[in-house]
């Protein structure tokens, strides 16, 4: 491997300056769990890594406002997400999802910012955050902007991040009584990468579903919010029939691809099953993931 430089700025402003050239050999580096794999396989040949590990503690803080909305600093580790009391209380689906994401060695160093920026459609965190209507706060040479996590991805390993732009923080609005789930289907061990990931959330108003989110990932080239399935659910009374209809629509609208985890035909069938079960779990408040 060719030699390269590692720099460790202590402010996000300096990190952005060091990255803004857009040189493809210069990249940010958080936990390093994904970027190291890319370096080992030669997919990424670094000239300079800009480590974000020297940023102040505010960039890994987790806080909740008076209404129950949450802010998560991009440098918070996935283990922190798993164990944090506020996360467990306000958005338990996040903590539960972490338990089957890779292994504790990875979770102890991998960060929320890295998990969101990597762009691999098999990541478990983005679909869950998308189902919670989370917003990524991006900071770059032109300032700050907000992008819904559901809109962060443009393709396979492709994101809307501009050169020099960093995920700085994630903001999750108050759950307002919504119940969210994530179902991960793997083709090998339970904590393997997902073959199909389904995240869903349901909010009821009286006896009707007032809002729904259905997100499919891993089976698709990028995370996909399936609004057609959400439309089937919204305004209806929750029932097995409605969930089955929404699941059929979700499968029909998912752009499922073939890959090493399975054929598109197989994964389309799984999407339908997992969406149906996920909606049932969200309604019954189960913790199937």
**Interacting residue ranges for ligand FAD, rule: CB under 6 A:** 27-35, 37, 52, 74, 101-102, 106, 110-111, 113-115, 117-118, 123-125, 161, 166-167, 192-193
CB nearer ligand FAD, residue 2 or residue 188: 188
CB nearer ligand FAD, residue 115 or residue 249: 115
CB nearer ligand FAD, residue 121 or residue 278: 121
Per the CB < 8 A criterion, the answer to whether 267 and 259 are in contact is: no
In whole angstroms, the minimum distance from the beta carbon of 32 to ligand FAD comes to 5
Q: Which DSSP helix (H) or strand (E) runs through 79?
A: helix 78-83
CB nearer ligand FAD, residue 169 or residue 272: 169
In whole angstroms, the minimum distance from the beta carbon of 45 to ligand FAD comes to 13
In whole angstroms, the minimum distance from the beta carbon of 222 to ligand FAD comes to 14
User: What DSSP character marks residue 238?
Assistant: P
Q: Is residue 82 classed as helix, strand or coil in its secondary structure? A: helix
In whole angstroms, the minimum distance from the beta carbon of 172 to ligand FAD comes to 17
In whole angstroms, the minimum distance from the beta carbon of 232 to ligand FAD comes to 28
CB nearer ligand FAD, residue 9 or residue 113: 113
In whole angstroms, the minimum distance from the beta carbon of 257 to ligand FAD comes to 17
In whole angstroms, the minimum distance from the beta carbon of 47 to ligand FAD comes to 13
CB nearer ligand FAD, residue 181 or residue 246: 181
CB nearer ligand FAD, residue 230 or residue 289: 289
Alpha carbon distances (Å) from 126 to 10, 31, 197, 236: 27, 17, 10, 27
Alpha carbon distances (Å) from 140 to 4, 12, 34, 97, 164: 23, 9, 22, 29, 6
- Going by C-alpha positions, the residue among 280, 193, 272 that lies closest to residue 240 is 280
CB nearer ligand FAD, residue 37 or residue 89: 37
Q: What is the dihedral of CA 52, 163, 221, 182, to 10 degrees?
A: 40
In whole angstroms, the minimum distance from the beta carbon of 144 to ligand FAD comes to 13
Show the tokens assigned to 104.
């504790």
CB under 8 Å to 80, separation ≥6 — which residues? 60, 62
Q: Is residue 1 classed as helix, strand or coil in its secondary structure? A: coil
- Going by C-alpha positions, the residue among 59, 80, 194 that lies closest to residue 127 is 194
Task: Select the residue whose beta carbon is closest to ligand FAD and give its number.
Answer: 114
Q: How far apart are CA 205 and CA 106, in angstroms?
A: 40
- Residue 273, φ and ψ in degrees, nearest 5: -65, -45
């Amino acid at each position: 491997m060719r030699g390269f430089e590692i720099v460790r700025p202590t402010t996000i402003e300096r990190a952005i300056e060091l990255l803004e050239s857009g040189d493809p050999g210069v990249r940010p580096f958080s936990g390093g769990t994904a970027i190291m794999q890319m370096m080992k396989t030669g997919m990424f040949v670094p000239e300079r890594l800009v480590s974000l590990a020297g940023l102040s503690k505010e960039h890994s803080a987790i806080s909740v406002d008076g209404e129950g909305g949450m802010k998560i600093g991009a440098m918070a580790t996935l283990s922190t997400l798993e164990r944090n009391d506020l996360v467990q209380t306000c958005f338990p689906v996040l903590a539960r999802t972490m338990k089957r994401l890779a292994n504790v060695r990875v979770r102890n160093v991998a960060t929320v910012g890295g998990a969101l920026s990597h762009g691999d459609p098999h990541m478990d965190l983005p679909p869950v955050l998308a189902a919670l209507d989370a917003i990524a706060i991006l900071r770059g040479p032109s300032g700050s902007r907000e992008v819904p996590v559901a809109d962060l991805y443009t393709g396979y390993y492709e994101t809307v991040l501009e050169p020099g732009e960093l995920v700085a923080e994630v903001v999750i609005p108050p759950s307002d009584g919504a119940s969210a789930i994530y179902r991960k289907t793997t083709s090998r061990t339970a904590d393997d990468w997902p073959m199909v990931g389904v995240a869903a959330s349901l909010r009821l108003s009286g006896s009707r579903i007032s809002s729904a989110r259905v997100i499919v990932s891993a089976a698709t080239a990028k995370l996909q919010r399936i609004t057609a399935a959400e439309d089937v659910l919204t305004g209806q009374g929750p029932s097995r029939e409605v969930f089955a209809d929404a699941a059929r629509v979700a499968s029909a609208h998912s752009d499922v691809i073939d890959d090493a985890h399975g054929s598109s035909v197989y994964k389309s069938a799984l999407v339908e099953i997992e969406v149906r079960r996920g909606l049932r779990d969200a309604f019954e408040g189960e913790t199937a993931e």
